[in-house]
């Protein structure tokens, strides 16, 4: 990357501007992502472009933005942006912004599935007081939860699972020492060995070439009967067809905030498979995301001003 200008410019969606901390020496150029006629920056050179939560059309038109050197996504996932990244432009994802909200969603899906909340919602809509199975619903407490992906989201989820009195088994790309939540972080090569003892498998890894299809038919077959698969990562990390077959057979259950394909088409078997709970990829989206994104973006702009490069770069075009 070439040397930063003395007063770098950054184009920021208007919804984020009010949440930015002042960064001396950086010029903020607000833009409306819905305006597809006026490029971010209004035609001026832009050192750094901040994209909105729903990246939109400007993500596909990065080559039209003059002077661009860095792009900051508002999502933890970044695979969708790689194909549009111009040569020499750095891409950073939203590290830490969505950890809490996504972990909350994963915990919500677990609890709803274990306690069979969808059945109570249906009974309420029909005005039925249905106590069948009372006292025999599954609990999250005392469950063994394998957290696949022990980054920001995985660790935030582990904090909540420990508070819920679960045994947490952490799995990451490589084995390493544990922390205050887990005794050991296991390498991903141990995954199949760890699954037979799991009550819940929570998937929270980024989508990369190495993780695409990671939870395949073999991994699913290693899970014990009645285990719950929770996916808050990306749909293609899990073989959704194999998972649907396991759930349709009544052997496994699933709670999915992400699917493959996405959106899940009308009539797709996952909609109607018993034991499957689907939410439409909303785990990271809460009002808390806006101030968190503002603080993160402020830190990124400070790093760019001071060092001429964004932090947490995941790819360079």
Considering the candidates 69, 155, 160, 281, report the single residue annotated as catalytic: 281
Alpha helices in 164-288 (DSSP H): 191-194, 217-222, 240-248, 269-272
Give the Cα separation of 317 and 269 in Å (integer): 38
175 in active site: no
Please answer whether residues 106 and 152 qualify as being in contact, where contact means their C-beta atoms are separated by less than 8 angstroms: no
281 in active site: yes
Structure tokens at 232: 């808050």
Task: Please state, in angstroms and as integers, the Cα–Cα distance from residue 280 to each residue in 109, 261, 275, following that order.
Answer: 12, 11, 17
Structure tokens at 131: 């106590």
* E runs forming strands in the chain: 9-13, 27-31, 48-50, 70-72, 90-92, 144-148, 167-172, 176-177, 184-187, 200-203, 228-231, 253-256, 276-278, 313-316
How do 48-50 and 9-13 pair as beta strands?
A: parallel
Give the Cα separation of 238 and 231 in Å (integer): 8
Considering the candidates 98, 186, 234, 312, report the single residue annotated as catalytic: 234
Please answer whether residues 282 and 60 qualify as being in contact, where contact means their C-beta atoms are separated by less than 8 angstroms: no
Compute and round to an integer the Cα radius of gyration of the chain: 22
Structure tokens at 16: 């984020």
Nearest to 89 by CA among 32, 35, 51: 51
- The DSSP call for residue 238 is B
Considering the candidates 115, 262, 268, 299, report the single residue annotated as catalytic: 262
Nearest to 109 by CA among 178, 161, 150: 161
Residue identified by tokens 């760890």 is 194
234 in active site: yes
- Supply the residues annotated as catalytic: 234, 262, 281
């Amino acid at each position: 990357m070439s040397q930063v200008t003395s007063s770098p410019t950054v184009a920021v969606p208007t919804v984020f501007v009010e949440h930015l901390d002042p960064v001396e020496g950086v010029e903020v150029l607000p833009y409306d992502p819905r305006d597809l006629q006026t490029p971010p920056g209004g035609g001026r050179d832009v050192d750094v472009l901040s994209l909105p939560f729903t990246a939109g059309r400007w993500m596909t038109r990065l080559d039209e933005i003059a002077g661009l050197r860095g792009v900051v996504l508002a999502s933890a996932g970044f695979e969708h942006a790689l194909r549009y990244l111009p040569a020499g432009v750095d891409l950073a994802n939203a590290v830490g912004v969505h950890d809490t909200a996504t972990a909350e969603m994963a915990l919500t899906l677990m609890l709803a599935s274990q306690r069979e909340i969808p059945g109570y919602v249906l009974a309420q809509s029909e005005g039925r007081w249905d106590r069948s199975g009372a006292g025999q619903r599954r609990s999250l407490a005392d469950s063994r939860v394998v957290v696949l992906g022990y980054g920001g989201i995985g660790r935030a989820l582990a904090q909540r699972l420990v508070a819920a009195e679960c045994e947490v088994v952490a799995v990451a790309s490589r084995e390493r020492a544990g922390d205050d939540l887990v005794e050991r972080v296991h390498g991903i090569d141990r995954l199949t060995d760890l699954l037979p003892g799991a009550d819940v498998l929570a998937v929270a890894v980024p989508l990369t070439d190495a993780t695409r299809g990671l939870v395949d038919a073999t991994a699913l077959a290693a899970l014990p009967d009645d285990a719950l698969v929770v996916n808050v990562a990306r749909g293609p990390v899990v073989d959704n067809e194999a998972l649907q077959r396991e759930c349709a057979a009544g052997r496994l259950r699933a709670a999915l905030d992400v699917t493959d394909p996405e959106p899940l088409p009308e009539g797709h078997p996952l909609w109607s498979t018993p034991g499957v709970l689907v939410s439409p990829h909303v785990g990271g989206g809460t009002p808390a995301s806006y101030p968190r994104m503002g603080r993160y973006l402020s830190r990124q702009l400070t790093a760019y001003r001071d060092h001429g490069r964004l932090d947490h770069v995941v790819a360079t075009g």
